Structure 1
């Protein structure tokens, strides 16, 4: 498709002055950049490369920044027409020849001059170079060139193009060939095979040396060969503060070691044991906190299997009075982002994920579905779903000891800003699948004189509104 054909296919969306002001007042950040139409396409490619190689981002082209009496302000000055954006659109076609990983739209406003091009750039599986053949990476509001081999190697690991699990370790092969974890595992291998031959076939021994994956899966004590990068630390802080401190540690941190299979089982059981000792006041009575079994299991398993083992840091489980934090070293791999992590799949450590699934009572039974299972389990018990955030060098999952608002509260809050509500809408916003559960909530609110049926709506499409 030619650039002219692309231009003709781009939608023009009219926005209001409030939305314009929202754009003009936005702060440039890790996920947002504002550019003038005067920017050279080659310079624009720096931002495109940076967003694609980081977490993706949003780009507005057609916003000037002017300074008057030392005060900076932004002004909307868009393209005179769609074809005036030819050069800028061509750079996207050059950097993304398959036409994927980005989408754009023209924005117009009756009170503003010209069309602003709004571009959404997705995080890519591959490394994207700018037109100057340099790789850029978005950090805060900067596009940082990645020119050294060390920085490029780090980026390849972050994006999952290369995996540390395939690296070899200068260690005696006996550490895995005759280990107890491998002996137990080989009993389940079909057809039967000699341990060393099987390990070579699975690429866990390369050039006469064990790989990182082989050590992690089958060494009895991988922490001795890979110190500070493959254990689990559990902390219990007797506080609900944003951060824990040495003063509110309930006991010395617990270190979980051993092969990955044993680490997962032990850390899940220990975390569950500690959490269920936390008292919580509910209905005037002290009760113990309890999560669905699959929640802790799936989130801890995910943190162990998908972490970046090239980073010198252990997985950390921090248990507070009001939440659990599970921190996994390494950024989200490949094209995975916080917003698509429940829909998309990408295994940084493909060998580890595949082989640990062959263990008896495999911790990752439904490969790729672990986090979804945890979220669904929390929703079923009407608990707030976990929050996932990505930091500079880690992924953090927050599991909160908090119930969702009652269904009735969710319905009334929705009616504060909407005229009517249906059973279908109520099920979606209250995270409830049962029509009868929502119907019962509607009836309770009607008995309290808070809502009424909208006259003229049929049984199947019944709508409710606040009593007038």
Structure 2
């Protein structure tokens, strides 16, 4: 194995591995174990440094006991099912069958995972402990697993077809003024250098954060990374549409403002006081939507090609974001102010552009302003929904 991937081994190389015995990166299985046990092995390797499982070898003696053709077929099917249905999030395996002294040995490569911690259906986390495995129960160790993730964040991925020439210089200069209290001209650094220093571009390609916040071509290159709004005359989606907004063009600041404008024209206004000329306010506080819309734009899963949906029904408002909660984050965690940055570059940049308070306080603030909020982490449909009840 090399660089976390499987490379074809010959008989002599595999024999040398077998003679070395089991280790933190090599596991022997004579035949397919119980699928829950297999899932725990896959989880432990994925949460550690990866490794290989060799099927057709006695784990007590190291004696070869190769698999038949039918056994190999069954094993491959069960591996796929276990990796995709009993490990959360799913892991990807590489398998190959190698003849060794007349025995068919199946080599299963499990790479170190990029979305740690991996768990079983009960939420139990395993890591390798020498040739064995153990459960993880310490919060500190779970935190280290989160910190050790090696996946590419969606917000730092480079966008083909983008260019520094697409930057809206007025918006970018406004951001620079807020962040550094100086204009681009005062800094006396060219725009390309500033973008590179802020991890917003590379080799004239904008990353996703830069595209979303500053590019005049955001709606052309990533139209799905926006918001769609609809207002419905009734409590069901099949009721009559009374107002709708297609996929909103523009950068995130523009998308945010146009979404708030849509909500404004579809939100009932109530008097602030009992006086005849009392000013009005939204039936649900403006600040609640401000927090929740910003939260959706900053924390949605940008690996999913779908828009955020804002649906205003007669009895509720739904904000539906692509992507379930990341890793071990739960609704209770969120209510207690815990947050995990799914898009760290976007988060650190957008705080100078959007009305983002940060520090995990947005949801808490929304609940304090308006307790009639329900959050749903929809794992099956891979989305996160916030439902705000209206006072009918």
Task: With the length of structure 1 as denominator, give the TM-score of the two structures.
Answer: 0.50
Q: 1:57 to 1:265 in 2, by over 3 A?
A: farther
1:358 corresponds to 2:352: yes
Q: 1:267 to 1:56 in 2, by over 3 A?
A: farther
Is contact 1:261–1:363 with CA below 8 Å preserved after alignment? Answer: no
| Counterpart-to-counterpart distance in 2, 1:125 and 1:211 | 23
Match of residue 165 from structure 2:
174
Structure 1 residue 91, shift from structure 2 partner = 8.5
Is contact 2:315–2:391 with CA below 8 Å preserved after alignment? Answer: yes
Structure 1 residue 295, shift from structure 2 partner = 0.8
| Counterpart-to-counterpart distance in 1, 2:289 and 2:321 | 14
Match of residue 185 from structure 1:
175
Is contact 1:306–1:348 with CA below 8 Å preserved after alignment? Answer: yes
Structure 1 residue 58, shift from structure 2 partner = 6.6
Is contact 2:155–2:302 with CA below 8 Å preserved after alignment? Answer: yes
Per-residue CA distance 1:261-310 (angstroms, 9 max, x = gap): 222222123213312269xxxxxxxx996112211111111111111222
Match of residue 272 from structure 1:
264
Match of residue 389 from structure 2:
400
1:62-461 to structure 2, matched below 5 A, reads 94-96=132-134, 99-100=137-138, 125=146, 161-170=151-160, 171-176=162-167, 178-190=168-180, 192=187, 193-228=189-224, 230-241=225-236, 244-245=237-238, 248-276=240-268, 290-343=283-336, 344-359=338-353, 362-379=354-371, 384-391=372-379, 392-402=381-391
Q: Report the secondary structure of 2:40's partner residue.
A: helix
Structure 1 residue 352, shift from structure 2 partner = 0.8
Q: 1:97 to 1:206 in 2, by over 3 A?
A: farther
Structure 1 residue 44, shift from structure 2 partner = 6.0
Q: 1:166 to 1:58 in 2, by over 3 A?
A: closer
Question: How many residues are paired up?
Answer: 271
Q: Report the secondary structure of 1:240's partner residue.
A: coil
| Counterpart-to-counterpart distance in 2, 1:41 and 1:48 | 10
Structure 1 residue 203, shift from structure 2 partner = 1.0
Q: 1:46 to 1:288 in 2, by over 3 A?
A: farther
Match of residue 416 from structure 1:
none
Structure 1 residue 56, shift from structure 2 partner = 6.2
Q: 1:92 to 1:265 in 2, by over 3 A?
A: farther
Structure 1 residue 227, shift from structure 2 partner = 2.4
Q: Which has the higher contact order (CA 8 A, sep 6+)?
A: 2
Q: 1:41 to 1:201 in 2, by over 3 A?
A: same
Match of residue 55 from structure 2:
none
Is contact 2:287–2:366 with CA below 8 Å preserved after alignment? Answer: yes
Structure 1 residue 95, shift from structure 2 partner = 4.6
Q: 1:52 to 1:255 in 2, by over 3 A?
A: closer
Is contact 2:268–2:282 with CA below 8 Å preserved after alignment? Answer: yes
| Counterpart-to-counterpart distance in 2, 1:46 and 1:239 | 50
Q: Report the secondary structure of 2:260's partner residue.
A: helix
Q: 1:167 to 1:97 in 2, by over 3 A?
A: same
Match of residue 17 from structure 1:
none
Q: Report the secondary structure of 1:339's partner residue.
A: helix
| Counterpart-to-counterpart distance in 2, 1:291 and 1:126 | 38
| Counterpart-to-counterpart distance in 2, 1:40 and 1:186 | 54
| Counterpart-to-counterpart distance in 1, 2:317 and 2:259 | 13
RMSD over aligned Cα atoms:
3.8
Q: 1:325 to 1:299 in 2, by over 3 A?
A: same
| Counterpart-to-counterpart distance in 2, 1:90 and 1:311 | 29
Structure 1 window deviating more from structure 2 (217-226 vs 186-195): it is 186-195
| Counterpart-to-counterpart distance in 2, 1:341 and 1:95 | 31
Q: Report the secondary structure of 2:326's partner residue.
A: coil
Task: With the length of structure 2 as denominator, give the TM-score of the two structures.
Answer: 0.59
